[in-house]
Chain A
Amino acid sequence: MADTTNLEVVTPSAIIVSEPVEMVVVPGSDGQIGALPRHSKVISTLDRGLVDIFNDNKISSQIMIDGGIAEINETSVTILAERAEKIDKANKHVLEEKLLAFQSQENHTDQNIADLAIKNSTFIKAVLDKIG
């Protein structure tokens, strides 16, 4: 077994992933960051995009995140994101239902709610695009 680093992807409602991985590439806001074991300590903000998890020298799974923050150190990579969705485990129907719910709120009279609904639905659309 090759060297691994502990990847954790956490959202306010659940831990999405918590497992040792060989490498992970995160969408940092100053460009992608590839984190191998013994990576130097970095805290970085993240953009919306895919987190690529590498095992056996190839991408074993991908997670879509909607921005957030990553804390990388020698032994672990921790990603805090408000929204995250596993691409290979995502359920298309559930997501489509959620999308409809958020889209119906996009013209809400309260600007804050409307903005958030747009943010949510753009994220789900991005996930759906990836699933194809």
Chain B
Amino acid sequence: MPSLKDLKNRIGSVKSTQKITSAMKMVAAAKLRKAQEQALASRPYTSLMDSVVSKISSKTIGSSIDLLSGKEEIKTQLLVVFSADRGLCGGFNGSITRAVRSEIKKLKDDGINVKLLMVGKKSADALNREFSDFFVEKIDGNSAKPNYTDAEVLAKKIIDLFENNEFGVCRVIFNKFVSAITQEVTFKSLIPVEVKNDEIDENDSSSLYEFEPSEEEILNDLLPRNLATQLYSSQIESTASELAARMTAMDNATRNAGEMIDNLTLQYNRTRQAVITKELIEIISGAEAL
């Protein structure tokens, strides 16, 4: 049976925890709004880029541009993993880490080597012990404030690795922002480029486009940009998901702390009354003994 003082201390500490979690929840909510705005602002660029890439690549099927088709002969795949730099965001980092682990296993079974490029500290830390041999690079500090320049730097790194034949296929793994309470672990192929074919079949007019300079030259210029764009949008999605996950987790924590405080207060009051009763009994039985 904890004493009254113990209970009081515990209530105090739970209360201060609740204050912290509710503050974190509010901070995450405010940041999430900003992240959503940023995601919204980047969407036109991303979708236009997608449509241009689809239009051109449909005309150059069978061409020998490696960035478009990948290098099948190289049995190595690069996975770019987006996670958070900080914890306290529920299952966010855990689900990414789990997905990466099972994907590595699957690829290994298929006889494909894996290389990992970790963006964000948490997943890198979690996978460090098992798979540190696969790490190509660990990058952190990008998730707090996603910007296009970081994505460009990352894209340059990936292209350099690709040109040195370090891998043949490249995919990103990130938490896709579905809503404030749902995030989905998503795989997306960067090399070869994912082309939306349905869009092209609909309007055959794309074949009427003239290209200046040639299709190949445009693609050589465009594909690195497209890579950066894809990485940028993955990073934005991941950041928005992280904040949403943190908001939900902190909301739950605040509610749980509230419940805990209620229970502890009840216990405290009961104990207090028991102590009073005990004292009364002692006084009465003392008086009777006289």
Chain A positions near chain B (C-beta within 8 angstroms): 8, 10-15, 28-30, 33, 40-45, 68-69, 71, 78, 80, 82, 110, 112-113, 115-116, 120
* Neighbouring B residues of A29 by C-beta, 8 Å: 212-213
Q: How far is the CA of A7 from the CA of B140 in the complex (A)?
A: 38
Q: Is B187 an interface position by the 8 A CB rule?
A: no
A80–chain B nearest beta-carbon distance, Å: 6
Q: Are B225 and A82 in contact (CB under 8 A)?
A: yes
Q: How far is the CA of A41 from the CA of B59 in the complex (A)?
A: 14
* Neighbouring A residues of B218 by C-beta, 8 Å: 43-45, 69
Q: How far is the CA of A67 from the CA of B174 in the complex (A)?
A: 29
Query: What are 19 A-to-B residue pairs whose CB atoms are below 8 Å?
Result: A8-B44, A10-B48, A12-B42, A12-B45, A12-B151, A13-B148, A14-B41, A15-B44, A42-B209, A42-B210, A43-B55, A45-B213, A45-B217, A45-B221, A69-B52, A69-B222, A69-B225, A82-B148, A82-B228
> Among B38, B44, B151, B213, which residue has the most Cβ atoms of chain A within 10 A?
B44
Contacts A69-B218, A116-B149 known; A80 to B52 CB distance under 8 Å? yes
Q: Are A112 and B156 in contact (CB under 8 A)?
A: yes
Give 1 or 0 for each of B196-238: 1 = CB within 8 Å of chain A CB: 0000000001001111110001100110010011001000000
Chain B's interface: helix, strand, loop or mixed, by majority? helix
Q: How far is the CA of A114 from the CA of B222 in the complex (A)?
A: 22
Q: Are A43 and B56 in contact (CB under 8 A)?
A: yes
Contacts A41-B208, A43-B52, A69-B218 known; A116 to B45 CB distance under 8 Å? no
Chain B positions near chain A (C-beta within 8 angstroms): 38, 41-42, 44-46, 48-49, 52, 55-56, 147-149, 151-153, 156-157, 205, 208-213, 217-218, 221-222, 225, 228-229, 232
Q: Which partner residue on chain A sits nearest B215 by CB separation?
A: A43
B207–chain A nearest beta-carbon distance, Å: 10
Q: Are A112 and B157 in contact (CB under 8 A)?
A: yes
* Neighbouring A residues of B48 by C-beta, 8 Å: 8, 10, 71, 78, 80
Q: Are B211 and A42 in contact (CB under 8 A)?
A: yes
B61–chain A nearest beta-carbon distance, Å: 16
* Neighbouring A residues of B55 by C-beta, 8 Å: 43, 71
* Neighbouring B residues of A13 by C-beta, 8 Å: 38, 41-42, 147-148
